[in-house]
Structure 1
Amino acid sequence: MVKFDMGAAWDDTMVLLRSHLPLTGTIAAVFLFLPNLAMSWFGPAPIEPAAGASMEQIMAAFQQMGREMLPYQLLIGVIAAVGGVGILRLWLSRTGTSVGDALIFALKMVPTMIAVQLLLIVMLGAAVLLLLLPGIGLGGVGGGLLLVVGLVLFVGLAAYFWGRFAVISPIIADQTVYNPLSAVQGSLAVTKGNGWRIFLFMFLVIIVFVITALIIGGVIGIVAGSGEGAGKMVVGLVEAIVGTIGSLVSLAITGATYRQLSMAGAQETFR
């Protein structure tokens, strides 16, 4: 069985980030940076509960904010999916691929990407119902203990399958998979025996990036302020830049993981 090598994956992540840099940078600017910048500058303002608000009022404020932001987030998600698949297509293509061809390919794959996301949401919802609903329904001390056990199992399964489903997008981009079930099955096959290793690798990278982003965001917030006007524009600009870099790194990690495991699997098949 092929074992996932974190060091080799990180090295290949850096290789991918440098590969086709002017082209991937242009796609990232248009499909990742600009939509997030527009959202920061022109999207709905966050709703802050009033001081001394009750839990019901806080929950109502969050629900209202979620309803207002949902259409924008969905639109940005679709645009980002096109850019992400286009970048992966450039990185993983075995023959020369132009930016136009990569983006046309990505547009054709939008229904597949949406179907995959819906499928994963259904699976996540089913896990919540199976693991958390019994404890909530039972109530009392026994129900509380059952709920804690369910939460632990849910977090563990979510982490494990995060690793197992990590290469769905690279599979779609490399193998031109239109069937969402085939893409999910392909990811499970490629990552077999490496779910926890892949999760740990991605989790460590994300933790480092989040800490760095929080430090940068805190410094910019102190210097520029967070109110309306110039402060909001500067903070939004920095958030969009940091978010774009994070998205590119995440894409490169999944691409490097797929390249390592799929190539090793092919070599093992012909031994």
Structure 2
Amino acid sequence: MKLNYMQCWNGAMAIFRDHKEAILAIAGVFVFLPTLLMAQFVGQPAIDGGEDLNAVAAAYSAHFSQNAVAIILSNLLISFGGFVIFMTVARSHSGTVADDLSKGLRLFVIFLLANILTGLATFAGFMLLIIPGVYIACRLVLVPIIIADQGERNPLESLKTSWYMTKGNGFSILLFILIIAIVGAITVSVAQMIVGVIVGIATSGEGWALIDNLVSALGSTALQLLFTLIIASIYDQLSQNNSQVGDVFS
């Protein structure tokens, strides 16, 4: 059964409405705050755009070496926050945010291992060509919500389940996510530009780094939440499709 884009979008919005208080609380603490702190106090490597590839790689390597602890910790917090949101919106969810955090901690290592396996599979696809890598990533996009909803403790099984559930919909998922990514990125960029112009006028062209970083962190958090909701909605739709097929042949 083919993915229904409108059903997925409406499903994502419905999921947000049903769980918005918990979603916003978790995202605020574990996604927005680390993103803002990293932007404000760590920042990005100093690159002016004129460097060659080796110089860019060296700059990023030096930046990571100097800020390794902060970068690793922030990424772990952001990943944990995203995973707990999957726990919150999963169909099997029952309990409070504290329950979701506790369950998320118990399954977080499984989630990380599954992400590593997904990354290796995607990298293998990219070694062939770009399209196979992106296709594999889309076929494995349901891994986090499968672990969250089904409590799967075998990382490899979660990859197999995602691969099975997305059969026949790999390119449909790719196109849908691509549309969301492009529209979302444009929206965030326009918002940042408007705020930048306003702040520039208010400060006589000097700007205000905190406001820029605040808007950037909000945009990044909003995009991550959107993709999380979309993935959860895709999972719900494909789960219903699979169950309907099972009913027919049972």
Same fold by TM (over 0.5)? yes
Q: 1:209 Cα deviation (Å)? A: 0.3
Structure 2 counterpart of 1:162: 137
* Unpaired segments ≥5 residues, structure 1: 132-153
Cα pair 2:45 2:59 within 8 Å, conserved: no
Q: Please name the residue that 1:248 is paired with.
A: 225
Distance 1:162 1:53 in 2: 30
TM-score, with normalisation over the residues of structure 2?
Answer: 0.88
Find out whether 1:15 has 2:6 as its counterpart. Answer: no
Alpha-carbon deviations, 1:215-267, whole Å to 9, x = none? Answer: 112222333359xx971100111111111111111110000000000111012
Q: Distance in 1 between matches of 2:57 and 2:93?
A: 52
Retained in 2: the 8 A contact 1:17–1:249?
no
Is residue 163–residue 197 contact of structure 1 (8 Å, CA) maintained in 2?
no
CA distance in 2, matches of 1:56, 1:192: 40
- Shift in Å, 1:46: 2.9
- Mapping for residues 251-262 of structure 1, pairs under 5 Å: 251-262=228-239
Does structure 2 conserve the Cα–Cα contact (< 8 Å) formed by 1:44 and 1:68? no
CA distance in 2, matches of 1:46, 1:165: 31
Aligned residues: 244
Residue aligning to 2:247: 270
8 Å contact 2:139–2:162 — kept in the other structure?
Answer: yes
Among residues 168, 173, 176, which one is paired with 1:198 in the alignment?
173
Q: Separation in 1 of the partners of 2:45 and 2:52?
A: 18
Distance 2:92 2:133 in 1: 33
Amino acid corresponding to residue 132 of structure 2 in structure 1? L
Partner of 2:107: 109
| Contact residue 142 and residue 231 of structure 2 kept, 8 A | yes
- Larger-gyration structure (1/2): 1
Structure 2: distance between partners of 1:269 and 1:83? 34
Report 1:141-160 matches (<5 A).
154-160=129-135
Deviation by residue 1:63-116 (Cα, 9 ceiling, x = unmatched): 323444554333222212222222222212335321111111111121112112
Evaluate the alpha carbon distance shift between residue 179 and residue 54 of structure 1 in structure 2; reply closer, same or farther with a 3 A threshold.
closer
Query: 2:32 and 2:178 mapped to 1: Cα distance?
Result: 23
Give the 3 Å change call, closer, same or farther, for CA 203–61 of structure 1 in structure 2. same
Tell me what 1:173 maps to: 148
Contact 1:17–1:248 (8 Å) recurs in 2:
no
Conserved in 2, the CA contact under 8 Å of 1:164 and 1:188? yes
CA, structure 1 residues 265+53, in 2 after alignment: closer, same or farther (shift >3 Å)? closer
Question: Residue 19 of structure 1: SS of its match in structure 2?
Answer: helix
2:79 to 81, 84, 96: 81
Shift of the 126–202 alpha-carbon distance from structure 1 to 2, 3 Å rule, reads closer
Give the whole-Å Cα distance in 1 for the aligned partners of 2:53 and 2:77: 35
Q: Percent identity?
A: 27
Structure 2 residue ranges without an equivalent (≥5): none
CA distance in 2, matches of 1:178, 1:100: 21
Supply the AA of the counterpart residue of 1:189.
Answer: Y
Is contact 1:78-1:110 (8 Å) kept?
Answer: no
2:117 to 119, 122, 136: 119
Alignment of 1:201-240 (within 5 A): 201-225=176-200, 231-240=208-217
